[in-house]
Amino acid sequence: MNSPRIHIGDWFKTVDGDNLEVVAFDPDDGVVEVQFYDGTVEEYDMEDWESLEVKPIAPPEDWSGSYDLSKDDYGVDLDHPAGEIIPNPLDHLEDSD
């Protein structure tokens, strides 16, 4: 079986329908560490990784699920991904100069 290339931060779906993110990869030791969407962390050797038969997927829209975060925990807006431009509510006001 040809498995997809492995990069930290990539998301995959197993044949059982579980979503997981690669959180560590050591190609020299042949070890892949993943975190499932529910927060469970597992480590696989390359043979076990191949047997998962994973397929690459886009990160879930609610990526915070496995981290059990809320908006108030860290003072960030989890509804707006990093890098998304949030409009300034004062932009519509005219300059009074």
Element (H, E) at 11: strand 11-13
State which H helix or E strand residue 20 sits in.
strand 19-26
Instruction: Quote the pLDDT of residue 8.
Output: 93
Does some domain include residue 50? yes
Look at residue 23 and tell me if it is in a domain.
Answer: yes
CB atoms inside a 10 Å sphere around CB 54: 23
Q: CA 56, 60, 64, 66 torsion: positive or negative?
A: negative
Asked whether the beta carbons of 34 and 22 are under 8 A apart, the reply is: yes
On whether residue 96 sits in a domain, the answer given is no
Residue 62 lies in a domain: yes
Supply the range of the domain harboring residue 23: 11-74
39 or 32: which carries more pLDDT confidence?
32
Share of the chain above pLDDT 90, in %: 44
The owner of tokens 């990869």 is 25
Q: How confident is the model at residue 85 (pLDDT cuts 50, 70, 90)?
A: low
Q: Does residue 81 belong to any structural domain of this protein?
A: no
Phi, psi at residue 12, to the nearest 5°? -140, 160
Q: State how many domains the chain has.
A: 1
